[in-house]
Amino acid sequence: MRHVLTLTLGLLGLALGGGGAFVQPTLKGDLQLHDPTILRVGNQYVAMGTGYENIDGGTLRLKTSRDGLTWVDAGHLGDKQPAWVAKLLGAEPPNLWAPTLTQHGGTTYLYFAASTFGKNSSGIGLMTNPQLDPAHPERGWKDQGLVFASKRGDHFNAIDPSRLDTADGRAWLAFGSFWDGIKMRELDPKSGQLKASNPTLYSLASRGGGAIEAASLLQHGPYFYLFVSFDRCCAGLDSTYRIMVGRSKSVTGPYLDREDVPMMQGGGSEMQATQGRFVGPGGQEAFKDGAGDSLVYHYYDADQGGTPQLQTSPIHWDAAGWPVLGALPKNAN
């Protein structure tokens, strides 16, 4: 799903196979993470993902890495969900979903979703951390409350948040799942809350009520790129998730795929789908890094009975300016 991840020399080496072939890196260690986001803090990395259902309060999960390749479990973000979650939904959900980490002005911003499957009574929350410590990523967070909500009867679903800070100093929050698809609101960059002077709800992509979610925006060259997941998530080896993309010269759209089909009309160019042990790749987040652009996502590992696993990949750009992922690593974790 949203950051600053500078590729190490080791990661770059793994990304280039014989003859210059582009191969995604082989990650090691504790990779069990769903709907991942990654942030580099100094020379270390913090990853966060969806909470485990009814375990540790369902709070967001944490992983850390010293090199972006080998990951260790770092526990979870607190033992209780924010009090506003149960008040909004009428009861505390089994877990919190789909976090995204970004930094602005030295502050780390964490957006996440509170909802239950199949319902659009949902909310996007915000926490901030003035000095995130990668050795203790669970510390220092302050709940900033609800940012945005949807309710039964709305034509959108306020989950799967992803923040983009654009080169012009503005900030945007993309979100959405099923219903009328992917939406966006403008944020105040400093507070991280909705920008009161711009109440517009932008529409970015839709499948007419079909499966589309996990929006992530990336600015590269003259274009903004919208990455989404199509089809079925969260079903282990029966998952059919796949990673899609479109682009626009304006952050507010319209976004078109490689064949110029509008994403508001179901368009999207496939970047990665099920292949071998990598089942249902999705829940992705594209982000800036010191050496270029990268993508983080989860997949269900057929060699581990469908356990969700973390994967990262540098993004390469083809001659037409479209993002390309490398071949999947052949060796097991």
Q: What is the pLDDT of residues 34-84, one digit of tens each?
A: 999 999 888 889 999 999 999 999 999 999 999 999 999 999 999 999 999
Q: What tokens appear for 84 in the block? A: 């506003």
Res 242 pLDDT > 90? yes
CA dist 77 → 37, 44, 65, 137, 149 (Å): 14, 18, 17, 8, 22
Q: Which residue has the tokens 């507070």?
A: 191
Res 314 pLDDT > 90? yes
Q: Give the number of other Cβ atoms within 10 Å of residue 141's Cβ.
A: 17
Q: Locate the domains of the chain by residue range.
A: 9-324
Rounded-to-integer distance, Cα 322 and Cα 325, Å: 10
Q: Which residue has the tokens 């996502």?
A: 297
Rounded-to-integer distance, Cα 90 and Cα 112, Å: 18
Q: What is the DSSP letter of 177?
A: B
Rounded-to-integer distance, Cα 86 and Cα 92, Å: 4
Rounded-to-integer distance, Cα 287 and Cα 195, Å: 23
Strand locations in 24-80 (E) = 28-29, 37-41, 44-49, 61-65, 70-76
Its pTM stands at 0.92
Q: Which of 286, 270, 221 is nearest to 248 (CA)?
A: 221
Q: What is the pLDDT of residues 84-99, one digit of tens each?
A: 999 999 999 999 999 9
Rounded-to-integer distance, Cα 181 and Cα 207, Å: 7
Amino acid 331: pLDDT: 64
Handedness of CA 183, 186, 188, 193 (dihedral sign): negative
Query: What is the distance in angstroms between the CA of the first residue and the CA of the last residue of the chain?
Result: 21
Position with higher pLDDT, 121 vs 227: 227
Which SS3 state, helix, strand or coil, does residue 10 take?
helix
Q: What is the pLDDT of residues 264-290, one digit of tens each?
A: 999 999 999 999 999 999 999 987 776
Q: Could you say which architecture CATH assigns to the domain 9-324? A: 5 Propeller (2.115)
CA dihedral of residues 15, 20, 23, 28 (deg, nearest 10) = -40
Q: What tokens appear for 138 in the block? A: 């669970």
Across the chain, what does the average pLDDT equal? 91
Q: Which residues pair with 124 in a beta bridge?
A: 113, 148
Q: Which residues pair with 138 in a beta bridge?
A: none
Q: Helix and strand tally (H, E) in the chain?
A: 2, 21
Q: Which residues are catalytic?
A: 35, 213
Averaged pLDDT, 308-314: 96
